[in-house]
Amino acid sequence: MARPKFGQIHSGPSGAGIERGEMVLPRAAKTQRRTRIQEQKEERILEAALEVFSAHGFRGSTIDQIAEVAGMSKPNLLYYFRTKEAMHRALIDRVLDTWLDPLRELDAEGNPVAEIRSYIRRKLELARDFPRESRLFANEILQGAPHIEDELKGPLKQLVDEKAEVIRAWAKAGKIAKCDPYHLIFAIWSTTQHYADFDVQVRAVLGQEHAGEGRFEDAARFLERLFVDGLQVRE
């Protein structure tokens, strides 16, 4: 009994030596390393949480819903994540990185038009293959980003600043048309994510006949052409 055990005793944010980073771990982890069962369960919970949060937003989701989707009892979820917010937080942290990967890959040394073209394609593939992740962010930002303000002003802004500089350099070198790089990035974000975030509207407008995945092909063709032609230098 060198330490008091802190099994279920965590009623309050000041848990006597419990550090912020450990919060995600189950409370009774004396062994320090995560067992296989922990990883599996946390995985299942986060998968379920993604399903629910992305569809209803943070406040619109209940722990019971997540528990049902995960096939576990509510207290069992709360054994792995102490609060609803901890689940959401873990989800955002995990997703943010992969969500920004396409922008990271924008290569200053590559051919500018080809780089932008494949950036668009990668973003569109993300929207097609991971719409829930996209909607998770959209929900969050739409409601004022109450949980991720720091990430936006920190790492996100930093990355965008960096890549904006790359684009500005391309423009200055005459390789693409002069344009505001920030608004170019916004335009690529919005047009591509639109197909994930506003999927219901897109489907409704396109109608039954375009119910398949063909709309992503059409969108890719249209967007690549729009941005390439719109940015090409002429005269």
Partner DNA sequence: TGATAATTTGACCGGTTGGTAAACATTACA
Partner DNA sequence: TGTAATGTTTACCAACCGGTCAAATTATCA
Q: CB within 8 A of 115, min separation 6: which ones? A: 106, 107
- Binding of DNA by 143 (CB under 7 A): no
**Nearest CA to 216 among 128, 117, 152?**
128
Rounded Cα gap, residues 94 and 131, in angstroms: 15
Q: Which of residues 162-181 bind a second copy (CB under 8 A)?
A: 177, 179-180
- Binding of a second copy by 206 (CB under 8 A): yes
- Binding of a second copy by 63 (CB under 8 A): no
Q: Which of 90, 95, 138, 176 binds a second copy (CB under 8 A)?
A: 138
Rounded Cα gap, residues 60 and 227, in angstroms: 37
Q: Which of residues 48-107 bind DNA (CB under 7 A)?
A: 61-64, 72-76, 78-80, 82-85
Three-class secondary structure of residue 27 per DSSP: coil
Rounded Cα gap, residues 97 and 81, in angstroms: 21
- Dig out the tokens for 39 from the structure: 């990883």
- Binding of a second copy by 132 (CB under 8 A): no
Distance of CA 68 to the CA centre of its chain: 23
Count residues binding a second copy (CB under 8 A): 56
Residue closer to a second copy (CB basis): 77 or 188: 188
Q: CB within 8 A of 156, min separation 6: which ones? A: 100
CA-based angle 119:124:90, to the nearest 5? 95
- Binding of DNA by 163 (CB under 7 A): no
Choices 28-36, 37-45, 89-97, 191-199 (CB under 8 A): range interacting with a second copy: 191-199
- Binding of DNA by 14 (CB under 7 A): no
Residue closer to a second copy (CB basis): 23 or 52: 52
Positions touching a second copy (CB under 8 A) are 55-60, 135, 138-139, 141-145, 149, 152-153, 156-157, 160, 177, 179-180, 182-184, 186-187, 189-191, 193-195, 197-198, 200-202, 204-207, 218-219, 221-223, 225-227, 229-232, 234
